[in-house]
Structure 1
Amino acid sequence: MKKYILPIGILIISVFFLNQFIEPKEEKKAIPTEAKTFPVPEIISPMERGKAILLSKGDSERRLTKSEIVKAGKEVKELEVHPYYMMTVSFFAAEKPEMKVTEWDPEKGEEYAPDSQEFFGFVKPGFKTLIIRAKWQDGTSAIYMAKIRVKKEYSYQDVLSPNLDEYTVMGIFDSSEPGDEAMPESKIGLYRTTSLHLFGGANDLKNTYPELESKKLPTYYIFYQGKVIFAAENYEELNQYLTRDKNLLYKGESENWAATLAVRQKLGNGNLRLTVRYHKNDQKPLEPFTFIIDGPGVRAEGTLELNESGMGEMDLPMHVQLSEKDKITCTISWEGKEETITLDVK
C-alpha cells in the first residue's frame, strides 16, 4: 500500500496549484453577459455600413471630455463614406430608443447637431466623430461613438457649402491682375458664395482644380452636390442665371410616339415637364409604360399611363443647366417594345 502514497500526494498538490493559477486567469478573460448583449447601433449609408462602439452606460446626458473621446477613438473602426451620401443610425432592435446624434468638434471640444437627426451627410473631406446618445423607455441609457472618413472626390470639395442642399456660387480671380471682383451676396438656404484668388492665373487654376476647364480668369461656377451645373466668364451672365427664369422647349417624334420636354431653369426651383403622346391610329397602350430621359447632366425615369386622349404627363425637379444646343433622348418601353425619341429645341 505504501508505494501508492507518493503519487497520490503529488496528484493532489498538482490539482491544487492548477486551481490556484489557471482558473483566476480564465476569470480575467471572461466578458460580462451584460456587455455582450447591450445593443450597439449601426451607421448605414447607401453603399457602406459600420458599427459604433459603446462609450459608456448610464447617464446619456453627461458631458464628454476630450481625453475619453481621444482614447475611445483609438478603438473604433472608421467607416469610409462618399460626400453627399445620406446616412442614418439604426439599432435594429424591437424597441427603438430616443436618440440624439451629434458631431464632435475636436478643436473646440464641443458637440453640435446636424440639420436632421434622421438622415444626415457630410461634404468636407476628412474624419468626423459622431456621438450617439440613446435612452430607452425602461430608463436604460448609453452613449456610443462612431468615426467616419469622408472621401475626397473633387479637388474643390473643401470650398463647397457644407449644407448638402445648398448651391455653391464660386468666383475665381487672378490675384496678379486686380480688377472688378463682383460677387453676389449669399442667400442662406439657397446658395452660398465664395471667392478664390489664384496668383498663377489660368495655369494655377488648372493645377489647383483640374476638373474646372476655364482658360482665363475671372471665371464663375455654380455647383450642386459636387457637380458643376453652370459656368460663365463674366458676372453679368452669372447674375442673369441667378435672378431670371430661362424656358426651353424640346420636341421629337418616333414611329409611335411624340414627346415634348418643357424646361424651366431657375436656381433651386427648376423643373421639367414631360408630355408624351401615342400618335398611331391603332389601339393605344392600356397598361402603364416606362420612360427614361437622358441628356447632358440629366437623367430621369418613371412610369406613365395614357389618358383618354392618348397623352401622359409628369413633372420632375431639375438642378442642371441645359442649352439650346443640347441633345436629349426619351426612351419609351411598352408591351415588350421600345423606341428612343431624339428631342431638340424647337
Structure 2
Amino acid sequence: MKKTVLPTIIILLSVFLINIFIQKDIDKETIVAKNMPVPVIQSGNQSVEPVLLFKDNGKITKTLVDKAVHKAHAVNVNPYGEVEIKLPDNDAPLKLSEWDPKTGRELQPFEGGYIPVLANEPGTRVIIIRVETDAGPAVYLGKINVLKLYSFQELLHPAGNVYTILVFSEGESGIREVPSGDETKYVTREVRGTVAEFKEKYHGLDIKNLPTIYVFHQGAIIFRSEDMKELQSFITDISTTFFLGESENWQVELRARQNLSEGTAELFITYKGQDEKPKKMDFHLSGRGWSWGSSGKIPDESGKIFSSSDMRYKLSEIDSIPIELTWDGKKEEIILAYRKNPY
C-alpha cells in the first residue's frame, strides 16, 4: 500500500507544479497583452484582435507562427471587400506583411494599414503585424479569410474597378488571356472546354451553347450573350439606362449614358412634398464600387434639382441604387430601380 501511495503523490505534485508554470506563462502573456496597445483587424462590421507573438525584439519562426495560427480568429471578408488593420486611439505606425505557410517565410510588405483583398484567391491568409509604441515594439499575427461566393471566382480580375469578360468556347480544356483594348478597364479570358464540363464546374452560370459570353463586375453578371457581335456592341456603343424611384416628398430619375469604358450620369430630383420646397438639400448615391454625392444643392422655382457626373462603372438592369436625400433636418432613402425607357 505504501509503495503505491508515494508514486501517486509524486505524480499529483508534478501535475500541480506543471499547472502552476503553465498558469504563470498564461498570466505573463495576459499582462503583456494588457500593457501593449492591441491592433484591430476590421472588415465591414467585423473586427477581431490578432494574437501576440512576442514583445520587444525576437525572431519569427515557423513553429511560433504555426502555434499562433491555431489560436488566432479570422475575420471574414467578401471577395471585393476591404481589410484595415489599425491601433485604436493610437497613431503609432504599423508594418504589415504576409506569411507564406508553404515556405515558412514572410512575403513582401504592404503599404499603409490596408490589406489588398485578392478576389480570385479565396481562402485564409496569415498577416504579420509589427507595432512600435511608447510601451515598446511588439509583433502580432492575424488571419483574414477571403470568402468563396462564386464558382467562377478564380477567373475574375482581383481589382474591383476592372471588368472581366469571359468567353466560354469549345476546345481542349484551358484558359487563355485575350489582349483587350484597355486592360485598366477590362480584361478578356477565353475558357475552353465542353458544355458538360462548364455546367459541372461553373454551376452558377447558365451555359447551354458555345460560345457563351459573360461580362462581370465584382462577381455580378452585367452582360450575357452567345453572339460576339453583341459583345462588341456592348463594349463600344453608347447606350442609355434609366433608374427611377419616388417617395411622398421626392421623385428621382437617374440616366446613365455609357459603354464599358466610359460614360456620364445625369440626376433629376424633383420635390413634390406638401410643405414649402427646401432652400437647400444634399444627396448621396452608392453602387457596386462607386459613390456620388453633393451638398447644398438649391432647387429651382419648380422644386427641381439637376446634377451630372462622369460614370466610370457600367450600370445594368440588375442594379438597385439607393439615394439618400437630406433637407431641413429630415432624411430619406429611396431605392432607384431599373426601368425601360420611360419616354
Same fold (TM over 0.5): yes
Q: Which runs of 5+ in 1 are unaligned?
A: 1-18
More strand by share: 2
Aligned AA for 1:308?
D
- CA positional deviation for 1:222: 1.7
Question: Given the two structures, how large is their TM-score scaled by the length of structure 2?
Answer: 0.71
Looking at structure 1, the residues matched to 248 and 22 of structure 2 have their Cα atoms a distance apart, in angstroms, of 79
Looking at structure 1, the residues matched to 212 and 112 of structure 2 have their Cα atoms a distance apart, in angstroms, of 34
| Cα contact 2:173–2:191 (8 A) shared by 1 | no
- Give the direction of change, closer, same or farther, for the CA distance of 1:191–1:134 in structure 2 (3 Å limit): farther
1:154 to 150, 153, 163: 150
Name the residue aligned to 2:3: none
Q: Deviations over 1:16-55 (max 9, x none)?
A: xxx9997896465222333442232121111322111112
- Give the direction of change, closer, same or farther, for the CA distance of 1:57–1:189 in structure 2 (3 Å limit): farther
2:125 to 116, 123, 128: 128
Secondary structure at 1:49 match in 2: strand
Q: Which runs of 5+ in 2 are unaligned?
A: 1-12
Name the residue aligned to 1:13: none
| Cα contact 1:230–1:320 (8 A) shared by 2 | no
- Give the direction of change, closer, same or farther, for the CA distance of 1:338–1:261 in structure 2 (3 Å limit): closer
| Cα contact 1:85–1:122 (8 A) shared by 2 | no
Aligned AA for 1:286?
P
Name the residue aligned to 1:314: 307
| Cα contact 1:186–1:193 (8 A) shared by 2 | no
Looking at structure 2, the residues matched to 328 and 193 of structure 1 have their Cα atoms a distance apart, in angstroms, of 27
Name the residue aligned to 2:232: 239
Secondary structure at 2:316 match in 1: coil
| Cα contact 1:102–1:113 (8 A) shared by 2 | yes
| Cα contact 2:259–2:314 (8 A) shared by 1 | no
- CA positional deviation for 1:337: 10
Q: Deviations over 1:260-282 (max 9, x none)?
A: 532122335444311134589x9
Aligned AA for 1:311?
K
- CA positional deviation for 1:299: 11
Looking at structure 2, the residues matched to 134 and 59 of structure 1 have their Cα atoms a distance apart, in angstroms, of 11
Percent identical: 26
- CA positional deviation for 1:241: 2.8
Name which one, 1 or 2, has greater alpha-carbon Rg: 1
| Cα contact 2:253–2:336 (8 A) shared by 1 | no
- Give the direction of change, closer, same or farther, for the CA distance of 1:105–1:186 in structure 2 (3 Å limit): farther
- CA positional deviation for 1:99: 0.8
- CA positional deviation for 1:155: 0.9
Structure 1 vs Structure 2 CA RMSD = 4.7
Looking at structure 1, the residues matched to 61 and 322 of structure 2 have their Cα atoms a distance apart, in angstroms, of 57
- Give the direction of change, closer, same or farther, for the CA distance of 1:97–1:291 in structure 2 (3 Å limit): closer
Looking at structure 2, the residues matched to 71 and 161 of structure 1 have their Cα atoms a distance apart, in angstroms, of 34
- CA positional deviation for 1:184: 3.9
